[in-house]
Amino acid sequence: MSVDVNRHDPPSRGAATYQAGGWTSWLTTTDHKRIGVLYIVTSLGFFLVAIALALLMRTQLAVANNDFLSPQTYNQVFTMHGTTMIFLVVMPLLSGFANYLIPLQIGARDMAYPRMNALSYWVYVAAALTLYSSFIFSTAVDTGWFSYAPLTLPAYSPHEGIDFWILFIILAGMSSILGALNVAATIIKLRAPGMGLWRTPLFTITNFINSFLILAAMPSLTVAVSLLYLDRQFGTSFYAADLGGDPLVWQHLFWFFGHPEVYILILPAFGMISEVTPVFSRKPIFGRTALIIATGLIGFYGFTVWAHHMFAVGLPFWFNALMAGTSFTIAVPTGIKIFNWLATMWRGSLVFTTSLHFVLGFISLFVVGGLTGVTLATVPFDWQVTDTYYVVAHFHNVLLPGSLFGIMAGIFYWYPKVTGRLLNERLGKTQFWLFYFGFIATFFPLYIVGLLGMPRRVYTWDSGQSWDIYNLISSIGGFVIGLGVLVFAYNIVVSLRKGARAGNDPWDAWTLEWATTSPPPHENFQMLPAIYSARPLWDLKHPENPDAVAPEGVLSAAQIDNRIAQLEAEPERPYLSSIPILVAMGLLTVVAGMLLTTEIVVIAAVFVLGALVAWTFQPAPAPAISPPVGVDPPEFDREVRLRERFDSGTLGVLLFVFSEVIFFTSLIYAYVDLRMSQMTWPPEGLPDLEIGLTAVATLFLISSGVAAHYALISLEHQHKQRFRWVLALAIVLGATFLSIQGYEYLTADFGISDGVYGGTFFTLTGFHGAHVTAGLLAFLLIWARTFKKGGRFPTEHAARGVTYYWHFVDVVWLVIFTLVYLW
Amino acid sequence: MRLGSRLTRPPVALGLLLGILLTASGCEDAPSILQPRANEAAEIRNLAIILLAICGAIFLIVQAWLIYNIVRYRRRSAEEPVQDHGDIRMELTWTVIPILIVIVIFILTVNYMDVLTNPPSNMEIDVTGRQWWWEISYPAADFSTANEFYVPIDETVRARLEAADVIHSFWMPQIGGKTDMIPGHTNQSTFTITQEGEYLGECGEFCGVQHAHMRFLIFAVDAAAFSQWVEQQQQPAAAAEGEQAQAGEALFLSAGCGGCHTVRGLEGAAGLAGPDLTHVAGRTSLAAVTLDNTPENLARWIDKPQAVKPGNLMPEVAVSVDEIQALVAYLEGLE
């Protein structure tokens, strides 16, 4: 039995409230679609800025010995171009699409954590303001997006632009981690009944994999910049070679983030290609399973190749060979993806929309970027071309025809879903050809000029080296792309009002987002069609030739009507909260205080804490469960058990802990690496650490963990009084640990600026102490709520999440105690 | 969309790429890695050609299939095509063959790495990267110089590489690959130049505001010419001759130039922050290959170093035109 996919049309539920509220509702919205639009619009704004910066560079480099930009301005421009494109354009643009599309593609009403979703957007805005305000309050950062130490240390970069950049990175990292956590939890918890993980749309799947990449990669960067901040502001010497530090620690931490970051920028774009290609080939995606596995492998290998950015730094032979080997390996799954896309078109029926143009352009050019990537992994060749324009051409070849063409294919494909109107195809194709030939003209000459010996990041160059013609062509090409961007911007704006009406499903597509109106109503769906294959709408439209046979359990029309009636009767979920934006602006004030006037830091931090406490008291939106469906396949029971294994709060904590593991691993790596390179430990004149008292403190912390766990079990068994008292004990034990650590700090014979010894001790124990403090505050909050008259008793969910986090903090301490005190 | 433009697209890209590559190998003036003048760069060039062949073949296969799809499978009717979901044999084909290719490239890589790593050397030099110039020492001959240096051809030279401030990278495109110079680390680079000539070296790692003007020149000469150069470099500086030059010498000390620059043989000029000027007049360029070494350029450099190379660490010293002429006269005498 098939279900009429258009039954929910026109939208009714939530439509009125969704429209009401005026412009301020954009500031307080927690609706995933509005947040998605905010992300997309903001990042497209920064896209224009980044393109302008690129054109400034190409203007400067068009001719030899040009003095259009001063050296420092040029260095700022290339740093800001890279930083903006990566952190303020491509990542948030992809976040925007993920936000908008994932709940629609999996048939959910919203993301798993709607308020946190708003928070990640507003923290991104705070990050952007931090970075760009450096133009006003200070000197913009000029050390490259990679900002290698020791160039970034105060001795060589005394200006505060570096500090702005550091705090910007910390905020941007926070935003991405919150966003990734949300995406992962949403996909784990909120898929519609019948949508097994392997049936999930490929854009959603790539985002699922991507969210783990972000969770694992960003903390390494956060550690790198935190240590840099300590070096700059607190006199530690993590990166200062003359004081025992090592600049290579920065490089390892940076590239452990930096390489996966490339995949973070491109995998969701691959996902878009995988959505667009089959629809415009009128065939299912070829080798779906192979594509998913390949994506997973690319993501995984991404973490095993970081040192291919460091072949010239003099690492051991075997290590370089290993990193070359793993890097080559990535070519295989990438090739699998390319061939599967080609095979999807093969024997298909190609509809030459603008979207498909971008797909074709993507394949034709991306393959060059992929292959030059293989050449760069070939160590001896890399020694020659690394840090030349060959590399600039290579990664633009990956990111422009790869990431950007993929995103453009996606924008032309989904714009009608978001706005209800189609983009202009003629303008779209004009833009495509400008991009296509503009790209070739801009970057192919740069491969050549790199082979001809032109280093990158030079603000000018001399004539007489055969570089002139290539640079000139490249600059002209850059402006051709710029023209394409203008056509694109015009198309986006004009089509909003004048574009042809799209209808619900303009492309005759097969995934769930096309089963609702354009734009979708507040809670996305009135009802979902039955899902028993990867193409639910194909099955619906082609009952004569479905991908899979409908299983038993399809509901009758009467049952469906009944479900719709139930849904209509449900109260609407709240979708406005002013707390996320307040938290983000509080964080921005903390950062501003750290940069400009330290007095306000404490006030702002207290404000943020207060807002977070208020957050926990605000009634949470009901869980964004999937709306009723037309089918209850038996296998859904299995899925239910799987996704009900953890409540969404605990799941969020576990995902966060995953990220924290990388954070502490990175920190501990820095400690071990630096300690191994010291002659003596502790250094001359500094005392060894006292183990006795700390061992006692360790016992307190472990006991606190045991107590917390017992409290949780008590709560699970509904022993509320016992829960209250045992939790209090856990808090006291934890606080005792902190007090002992505080005593140790006060009586220590050395400080944080006493070389690597003092720096690593205070940094490791300090970051751990901050985590203990956060855990204690969370416990206190739960404990306080046990006394709230008439209020709801703390749920198991909250207690379980914090308890798991507390166990993690214990384990980290055992590692730190072993490595710092016992070693 | 016209069929014509659809047909031409990938071939246009391919043609452009190949055309550019061909013209590039003919650029005689460029410090091109495709025109090696040393064993190391030649090995890497050979490797690059093998890579180009392999990658070119893969590129052609992908483009051919893409063009075939574009031409052959254009939508012609409203009827949906056969809905096929995949083919395990095809998946295996494009998994296994790339794995084999990757293994071949990996073996090639390790072989070339092995050839290029630490060959036995005949002589050693020390090179230190500084913001934004190069200090080169010859430990066996006990002298150092800056930004321009000589090596004998057909000898394997080992350069010990260090950095005095931030990270730099030692790179001579026609001689061999880059090796980074990292504070706290000592790296090495070996090279065997096979053809006499003057070759450009460049800093290969962004090192601050004047990274663009951190270059050097290496002169590869025969053994006799090399010994002659070494002997000449070992000499202390020539005494100032003529009234103007002597005034310049005095001014060199009184204006504080000697605080940063060493002139061996001139008492009071033993600074280490800037390049050694003992034989500065024998160099062909100034300010790490920013300017040709002519009296006019030298005067300009002394007068307005921050205009010539903005942000560099040489301060602008208030000196009159006459005084600059005296300094130039003095320095021009330091052959």
Burial class (CB within 10 angstroms; exposed 0-12, middle 13-18, buried 19+) of A31: buried
Task: Please name the residue ranges forming H helices in chain B.
Answer: 3-24, 39-72, 88-116, 223-234, 243-254, 295-303, 305-308, 321-332
Q: Compute the nearest-CA separation of A583 from chain B (Å).
A: 37
- B69 to chain A: which residues are within 8 Å by CB? 342, 345-346, 348, 350
Token pair in block for residue B102: 């990757």
pLDDT of residue A792: 62
* Contact indicator for A579, A618 with CB cutoff of 8 Å: yes
Band (pLDDT 50/70/90 cuts) for residue A575 is confident
What is the enclosing helix (H) or strand (E) of B210? Answer: none
Q: Does A385 touch chain B (CB under 8 A)?
A: yes
Find the residue in A nearest to B292 (Cα). Answer: A462
pLDDT of residue A553: 57
Q: Does A289 touch chain B (CB under 8 A)?
A: yes
pLDDT of residue A94: 97
The Cβ-side half-sphere exposure at A622, using a 13 Å CA radius, reads 10
Q: Hey, which residues 135-154 in chain A have their CB within 8 Å of chain B? A: 142-144, 148, 150-151
Conformational region of residue B179, where left means phi above 0, alpha means psi within -120 to 50, and beta covers everything else:
beta
Q: Compute the nearest-CA separation of A130 from chain B (Å).
A: 23
pLDDT of residue A791: 56
Query: What's chain A's length in residues?
Result: 823
The top-scoring range by mean pLDDT among A183-197, A369-383, A590-604 is A369-383
Q: Which residues pair with B129 in a beta bridge?
A: B134, B163
pLDDT of residue B3: 42
pLDDT tens digits for range A460-488: 999 999 999 999 999 999 999 999 999 99
Q: In angstroms, rounded to a whole number, what is the distance separating the alpha carbons of residues A357 and A524?
A: 30
Band (pLDDT 50/70/90 cuts) for residue A624 is low
- For chain A, give the percent of residues with pLDDT over 90: 78
Find the residue in B nearest to A71 (Cα). Answer: B209
pLDDT of residue B27: 65
Band (pLDDT 50/70/90 cuts) for residue A641 is low
Contact B30 A336 (CB under 8 A): no
Q: Does A444 touch chain B (CB under 8 A)?
A: yes
Q: Hey, which residues 250-279 in chain A have their CB within 8 Å of chain B? A: none
* Contact indicator for B41, B173 with CB cutoff of 8 Å: yes
pLDDT tens digits for range A336-345: 999 999 999 9
Find the residue in A nearest to B43 (Cα). Answer: A380
pLDDT of residue B26: 59
pLDDT of residue A593: 94
Q: In angstroms, rounded to a whole number, what is the distance separating the alpha carbons of residues A487 and A465?
A: 36
Question: Quick one: average pLDDT of A304-325?
Answer: 96
Question: Quick one: average pLDDT of A686-715?
Answer: 94
**Is A635 part of the annotated catalytic residue set?**
no
pLDDT at A554 over 80: no
- B113 to chain A: which residues are within 8 Å by CB? 317, 320-321, 379-380
Find the residue in A nearest to B163 (Cα). Answer: A241
pLDDT of residue A571: 64
Band (pLDDT 50/70/90 cuts) for residue A787 is confident
Given A274, A304, A327, A403, the catalytic residue: A274
pLDDT tens digits for range B169-180: 999 999 999 999
Q: In angstroms, rounded to a whole number, what is the distance separating the alpha carbons of residues B229 and B226?
A: 5
**So what's the ipTM on this one?**
0.94
Question: Quick one: average pLDDT of A121-133?
Answer: 97
Phi–psi pair at A544, nearest 5 degrees: -75, -20
What is the enclosing helix (H) or strand (E) of B137? Answer: strand B133-138
pLDDT tens digits for range A701-716: 999 999 999 999 999 8
Question: Which 3 state secondary structure label does DSSP give B91?
Answer: helix
**Is A259 part of the annotated catalytic residue set?**
yes
Torsion of CA A459, A464, A465, A468, to 10 degrees: 60
pLDDT of residue A10: 40
Q: Compute the nearest-CA separation of A451 from chain B (Å).
A: 6
Contact B51 A387 (CB under 8 A): no
Please provide the average confidence, as pLDDT, over all residues in chain B.
Answer: 92
pLDDT at B11 over 60: no
Question: Quick one: average pLDDT of A779-794?
Answer: 78
pLDDT of residue A629: 56
Q: In angstroms, rounded to a whole number, what is the distance separating the alpha carbons of residues A170 and B300?
A: 45
Q: In angstroms, rounded to a whole number, what is the distance separating the alpha carbons of residues B202 and A72?
A: 19
Contact A380 B116 (CB under 8 A): yes
**Is A81 part of the annotated catalytic residue set?**
yes
Token pair in block for residue A284: 């299912």
Question: Quick one: average pLDDT of A382-395?
Answer: 97
Task: Please name the residue ranges forming H helices in A112-201.
Answer: 114-137, 161-189
Task: Please name the residue ranges forming H helices in A145-246.
Answer: 161-189, 202-233
**Is A242 part of the annotated catalytic residue set?**
no
Please provide the average confidence, as pLDDT, over all residues in chain A.
Answer: 91
Contact B81 A379 (CB under 8 A): no
* Contact indicator for B245, B333 with CB cutoff of 8 Å: yes
pLDDT at B234 over 90: yes
pLDDT of residue A540: 86
Q: ∠ at Cα B202 (B201, B204), nearest 5°?
A: 135
Strands of B168-172's sheet in order across:
B148-152, B215-221, B197-203, B168-172, B176-181
Q: In angstroms, rounded to a whole number, what is the distance separating the alpha carbons of residues A692 and B124?
A: 53
A554 vs A450, residue with greater confidence: A450
- B210 to chain A: which residues are within 8 Å by CB? 71
Find the residue in B nearest to A373 (Cα). Answer: B55
- A458 to chain B: which residues are within 8 Å by CB? 211-212
Q: Does A349 touch chain B (CB under 8 A)?
A: yes
Amino acid at A224: A
Q: In angstroms, rounded to a whole number, what is the distance separating the alpha carbons of residues B32 and B21?
A: 12
- Angstrom CA distances, A563 to A526, A560, A630, A633, A681, stand at 10, 5, 9, 16, 70
Using the Cα atoms of residue B32, residue B33, residue B35 and residue B39 in order, give the sign of their dihedral: positive
Q: In angstroms, rounded to a whole number, what is the distance separating the alpha carbons of residues A301 and A520?
A: 38
- B110 to chain A: which residues are within 8 Å by CB? 321, 324
The mean-pLDDT minimum among A146-150, A321-325, A626-630 falls in A626-630
A678 vs A54, residue with greater confidence: A54
Q: Does A440 touch chain B (CB under 8 A)?
A: yes
Token pair in block for residue A50: 């980044």
pLDDT of residue A793: 66
Q: In angstroms, rounded to a whole number, what is the distance separating the alpha carbons of residues B326 and B298?
A: 11
- For chain B, give the percent of residues with pLDDT over 90: 86
**Is A544 part of the annotated catalytic residue set?**
no
pLDDT of residue A192: 83
Q: In angstroms, rounded to a whole number, what is the distance separating the alpha carbons of residues B281 and B278?
A: 8
pLDDT at A589 over 90: yes
pLDDT of residue A1: 30
Find the residue in A nearest to B10 (Cα). Answer: A364
Q: In angstroms, rounded to a whole number, what is the distance separating the alpha carbons of residues A646 and A648?
A: 6
Q: Does A73 touch chain B (CB under 8 A)?
A: no
The mean-pLDDT minimum among A602-616, A636-650, B140-154 falls in A636-650
The mean-pLDDT minimum among B12-16, B32-36, B130-134, B162-166 falls in B12-16
pLDDT tens digits for range A205-232: 999 999 999 999 999 999 999 999 999 9
The pTM assigned to this predicted structure is: 0.94
pLDDT of residue B15: 61
